[in-house]
Chains A and B, each alone.
Chain A
Amino acid sequence: MKVFFATDIHGSETCWRKFLNSGPHYDADVVILGGDMTGKALVPIVDDGGGKWHGTLQEQRRDLNGEDEVVAFEQDVMRRGYYPFRTTPDELSELEHDEQRLDDLFHQHMLGTVERWMQMADERLSPKGIKAFVCPGNDDQFEVDEILANARGVTLAEGRVVDVEGYQMASTGWSNPTPWHTYREETEDVLYERISSAAAGLTNPPERTILNLHCPPYGSGLDEAPGVNEDLSPKHGGHAPEPVGSKAVRRAIEEFRPVLSLHGHIHEARGHTRIGNTLVINPGSSYEQGQLLGALIELDGKKVKNFVLTSG
């Protein structure tokens, strides 16, 4: 069985479309998307009147003339993983002071995008017979789960064991605590309980078992992120990574000894390692550049036959 795994696309329209095409591209039987599929930011496109608009992307202001340029800018924003929305100067000013309204706007765009993506998955994956599994991550709000659960083109893998072509895969997108206090994070003890609960249904031997845990194992080299100061600025110019992975995840890998363990969360820590006989992979993420980083793994029922990290 050939598995393609990617993760942390953070709302990037380009990466999602590439993910949908990754099965045929890599000749994979199954495609799996790790957590953090939703975007991090809203980008206002402000109506200046008379068919003129303006918006700012990557700190560069763009003045837009007419509908075609606005649409092209919206596509640029979506490609980068942000959500564009059209607004007026007055509404923009109100949004700055109305947290609830901003939250609602985020929900509207985020959930709308996930719904549209699931529709695309149904249209593109189902006819090809490619199985796709998706699991939210710590950055994804809980409302995402319901949309994924109702999708026909993909299978929601969160918190349970799913069958993957004769292999069993247990998944969770929860992580240990981060400095950003995101939606799905908890202490190591609680996280371990969650993973154990998700994996309770595993009945296959280790060589036919896969763990899909968003957070990488602590001290694996796949969890090295730039250390941050209290104000969230990177220490030492971002040159000094430190391990930030989960000890609970590491313990789970050591106890369940799956043939393969898939992770994401730390975009910079692209790589692979072994914990015991388990091949542990974090393909990293370059969603902002529109590059889908991934891993192509071939399993032969006894071991990992071969694998490679991809950049597509």
Chain B
Amino acid sequence: MAAADVPAERTLFVRKATGLVKGWSVLDAFIYAAFAINLMALGFGYAFTTIAFIPDGSLVWAVILSALFIIFETLVYASLIAVMPRAGGDYVWQSRVLHGGIGFVFAATGWWFILWHWVPIYANILVVEVIQPFMVIIGNTGNGVFESDWWVYTPTHGAGIFTASLITAGIATVVVALGMRTYARFQKWCFYGGMIGLGIILVIFLIHSKADFIAAYNRSAQNMWGTGPHAYEGLIAASDKAGTSSYVGAGSFPVKETFLLIPFIVFYNLWPNWGATLYGEVKGASDYRKNVYAMAGALVFTTIVVLITFAAMYHVMGSDTYGIMSSAYWGYFTAPLAIFPYPGTIAAMFYTNEAVQLIIILLLSLWFFGWAGSVFLSSTRMIFATAFDRVLPEWAAKVSPRGVPYAALALMLIPAIPISYFYAYNTTFYKATLDATLVIAATFLLTTLSAMLLPWRKPEIYNASPIAKYRPLGIPLITLSGVIFAAFLLFCLYKWFADDIYGVNNSTSLRYMAVLYIAAIVIYVASRVIRSREGIDLDKINAEIPVE
């Protein structure tokens, strides 16, 4: 009998019992993670255009290198899910491993307060990737109300971004209110539709030449945006004059500058763990591996797709032109046309048929709509978890008869509206929100610290988990992964704090973020006092009961 024909030995006999399910689909979890590191909304929607700020860095290598480090983030979070697979994610892990107060302060700031501020950030992406291209295609250009430029934020004009913020908050609210099942189905269709859209633009880029691009750019600039006949030449001339015409292509790897680009790039790929607050019960090592496959797989897949997209874009327009368009958008010089270098808009330029242009934009817009709910969704789980621990009041965990977490949703939605208003209409407040990424990274850092210490802080639970046997070099894999990822996060945090180029070491913003942390501390301390008067010891609720 061949070895392959030898039946495997039974290692487990199960009886009929509730909850014994077959393995869940890696594909579904993969889609959720792939949407979180949204190559179109976060990558091409912002992060990659920062090549304008560090033109000597290599976008290609920054994407690859950052992904290599972020693989360790996926190992950290998959490990934590395997050891403590409970909804609430970062809050649960930090509060159980470090301290309830630390868990609340960093989870409240990183998953609750700061996501109010992400609503206008999401809205900016909605504007540049969906609303503006749509308006231009239908001929609604100009500064008038609801015309294409009306939506763009400027220090003197906030109506557009505030309206877009309301739309974004509305979409997120509806998605959460519809429930996870509907959202998961919706997201899956958005993923498939978005991938079709991406495939279409890749083909468009690959079948055209740079000469085609220049002709399409000039024609579109004139017909759609009303510029003169030689907008492309004007763009290049203005860039040459400003000295911002040279960018690194795929073949070069300037190490230092590329590393400096990474703190920008993580804006798009730091989030494969976004669904970690949602993962369910883990049964064994294969489920641990599935979590890794889902999160790391999404990261690897997205990285590869980004690289393919870069290759196609560099083929049709050149890396220099992408950098120049980015620099023009970020105001390094004044060009005849300074549109956001969104691949959908660029692909649409090759066609004059409005229907074709709209199909491209609408298919790619699915990357935004499938993702928009994430601005509130994971946060509601964190609010639930803190309410269960009685740090927040009982009502914060209320659900409607249809299962809608309306209180947690209100705690996300209601503050997000005035914050979006101030973001739109108050330039000082706008600057105060610049550290929005930094606060989440700080929360991830504390969770990573929890992971590093877990084998020693919670040995009983750790040793009973399926990951206990993974000990490369005799060190628990969760700790080793944590050390590497923590070093990566500390590098990014250091650069954000120390270097003006990232635009987030603004003193107004740092003071504002300090206020958010103080607010979280005040809530926690007040909660402790109130609960203590009620006879509830918050420290005891997570204390280990003696086994013997």
Contact = CB atoms under 8 A, between A and B. Distances in A.
A221 B389 CA distance: 17
21 contacts: A17-B547, A40-B15, A42-B13, A43-B11, A58-B466, A59-B284, A89-B9, A92-B10, A106-B15, A180-B19, A219-B401, A219-B403, A228-B21, A233-B25, A234-B25, A235-B181, A236-B180, A271-B388, A286-B85, A288-B283, A290-B461
Given A25-B546, A233-B25, A289-B465, 9 more contacts: A18-B545, A41-B15, A96-B10, A225-B19, A237-B30, A237-B32, A239-B184, A288-B283, A307-B390
3 smallest CB-CB distances across A and B, nearest first, come from A237-B28, A56-B11, A236-B184
A58 B21 contact: no
B403 A237 contact: no
A241 B20 contact: no
Interface stretch (B194-202, B245-253, B495-503, B534-542): B534-542
B544 A312 contact: yes
A247 B464 CA distance: 37
Interface in B258-292: 275, 278-281, 283-286
B84 A289 contact: yes
A178 B17 CA distance: 9
A104 B370 CA distance: 52
B280 A231 contact: no
Interface stretch (B137-145, B161-169, B392-400): B392-400
A22 interface: yes
B469 A60 contact: yes
B18 A139 contact: yes
A66 interface: no
A311 B28 contact: no
Given A290-B460, A306-B536, A239 B281 contact: no
B27 interface: yes
B452 interface: no
Contacts of B545: 18, 21-22, 25, 292, 312
B241 interface: no
A139 B9 contact: no
Contacts of B543: 25, 312
A18 B535 contact: no
Interface of B: 9-32, 83-87, 96, 179-181, 183-185, 188, 275, 278-281, 283-286, 294, 384, 388-390, 394, 397-399, 401-403, 405, 460-461, 464-466, 469, 531, 534-536, 540-548
A239 B188 CA distance: 12
Given A58-B466, A219-B402, A14 B294 contact: no
B534 A224 contact: no
A74 to B, nearest CB: 14
B466 A238 contact: no
A118 to B, nearest CB: 18
B286 A59 contact: yes
Nearest to B460: A290
A188 B389 CA distance: 32
B84 A286 contact: yes
Contacts of A160: none
B534 A306 contact: yes
A256 interface: no
Interface centre among A25, A291, A296 (most CB of B within 10 A): A291
Contact of B20 (A95, A232, A238, A270): A232
Given A237-B25, A289-B83, A308-B389, A40 B402 contact: no
Contacts of A55: 11
Contacts of B184: 235-237, 239-240
Interface in A90-112: 92, 95-96, 102, 105-106
A306 B530 CA distance: 11
A278 interface: no
Nearest to B397: A271
Interface in A275-293: 284, 286, 288-292
A291 B461 contact: yes
Contacts of A96: 10
Nearest to A233: B22
A263 interface: no
Interface string A42-60: 1110100000000110111
B281 A268 contact: yes
Contacts of A106: 13, 15
A288 B86 CA distance: 12
B28 A239 contact: yes
Contact of B13 (A59, A89, A95): A95
Contact of A289 (B278, B461, B535): B461
B13 A102 contact: yes
A139 B17 contact: yes
A288 B22 contact: no
A267 interface: yes
Nearest to A222: B399
Contacts of B405: 221
Contacts of B280: 226, 234, 238, 268
A290 B464 contact: yes
A180 B32 contact: no
A41 B23 CA distance: 17
Contacts of A274: 398
A36 B17 CA distance: 9
Given A233-B23, A286-B86, A243 B403 contact: yes
Nearest to B25: A237
B466 to A, nearest CB: 4
A18 B547 contact: yes
B12 A308 contact: no
